[in-house]
Amino acid sequence: MKSINVTASFLVYDSIDELAPEIKDLMVQAVVVRKKAYAPYSKFRVGAAILLDNGKVVLGSNQENAAYPSGLCAERVAIFQAGAIYPEAKILKMTISATADSKEVSEPIPPCGACRQSIAEYEIRQEQPIEIYFMGAVGEVYKSDSLKSLLPLMFDKNFL
């Protein structure tokens, strides 16, 4: 028997104001679209903004449905929209902001497992890492240089 050790490293910014201007602008767009989320059941709102290599920005917010789990997370709304509208573009950066209607969330909220797997598919396909920045409504922002930091033992097409 042997043991393996899997670790991840993230940069931590004290607030959105410490981000480079391009990333701060992208995060502000995630915050704005977060406020437009359709979340009548969970009351948990998430916004995502994606910067593509063609300079375009694609947005997404979570969209819930009474027939759970028919809704979709903000990250998948944005990434699937980017894939549909700009199929040849590479995803450079993704910003995510999340909060609850009942309280202001100050902890960074990473993508859920399903979103991590969907982002992994795009990162593997484009053969280039996707920088991911995530935060709550306020407070620290975490930066991951690649989805592999969030999902180190990812499942991909090579297993099929």
The residues annotated with a catalytic role in the active site are 75
> What are the structure tokens assigned to 56, written together?
């375009």
The answer to whether the annotation marks 65 as part of a ligand binding site is yes
The annotation status of 81 as a binding-site residue, yes or no, is: no
Dist. CA 83–CA 130, nearest whole Å: 14
Is 127 labelled as part of a ligand binding site?
Answer: no
Tell whether 64 is in a known binding site: yes
Contact call for residues 44 and 98 (beta carbons, < 8 A): yes
Residue 54 counted as an annotated binding residue? no
Do 92 and 52 contact (CB within 8 A), yes or no? yes
Q: Is 104 annotated as a binding residue?
A: no
Backbone angles phi, psi at 2, to 5 degrees: -135, 170
How far out from the chain centre does Cα 124 lie? Answer: 16
Q: Is 22 annotated as a binding residue?
A: no
**Has 18 been labeled as part of a binding site?**
no
Q: Residue 60 is inside which H or E element, if any?
A: strand 57-61
Residue 82 assigned ligand-binding role: no
Which of 130, 111, 121 lies closest to 154, judged by CA?
A: 121
The encoded tokens of residue 105 equal 């969330």
**Binding-site residue ranges for substrate:** 62-68
Residues forming the annotated binding site? Answer: 62-68, 73, 112, 115
Q: Which residues participate in the annotated binding site for Zn(2+)?
A: 73, 112, 115
